[in-house]
A = this chain, B = another copy of it.
Amino acid sequence: MGRETPVNHVEAERQRREKLNHRFYALRSVVPNVSRMDKASLLADAVSYIKDLKAKVEELEAEAKRARKESLLEQGISSGGGTPTSATTTLCGGPVAIELDVKLLGPDAIIRLQSENMAHAPSRLMLALRDLDLVVHHATVSGIKEAVVQDVMARVPEALLGEYNLRSALLARLDKGS
């Protein structure tokens, strides 16, 4: 039958070239010292430039690390003031301080979790929600110093309906993810 007009192919190739050339132009805009307008030279210059930047970054990072250690030393010496570090290591035996509030509105739930700022609290709650198949509609999490508070609005699967059920399941999941 009639050939599927190859004009599409031509046009596609044209767009591809156009895109490529645009990328080349973008590359030119970020690489200084573009001696030749030549594409090959541009690529070569880009490579050298990247190598230069890499070396520079590495050098500066080493210097920064050095400076940081100095700074840490200074801090360690001058740490005569009151430090707010409590960090009672009672994580193991004792349960972490947690306050969990669950309210149901029809099939949806409003969940409020306030706890110590343990490591990666947000991922913990989100994992618990995921494991229980709660569909998150909206969530906020804010952490300051030693405390973190999370508010979540989500849809609850029928099997978990009932504030007590939901709260228990959430607490179990939260403890489990220690």
Interface of A is mostly: helix
Q: Which residues of B contact A44 (CB under 8 A)?
A: 23, 26
Q: Which residues of B contact A47 (CB under 8 A)?
A: 23, 26-27, 30
A137 within 8 A of B: yes
Min C-beta distance of A129 to chain B, whole Å: 7
A3 within 8 A of B: no
Give chain A's interface residues, CB within 8 Å of chain B.
16, 19-20, 23-24, 26-27, 30-31, 39-40, 43-44, 46-47, 49-51, 53-54, 56-57, 60-61, 63-64, 67, 70-71, 74-76, 78-79, 120-123, 126-127, 129-130, 135-144
Determine which of B20, B79, B143 lies in contact with A40 in the assembled complex, contact meaning CB atoms within 8 Å: B20
What's the Cα separation between A30 and B135 when bound, in Å? 32
What's the Cα separation between A39 and B54 when bound, in Å? 22
Q: Which residues of B contact A56 (CB under 8 A)?
A: 57
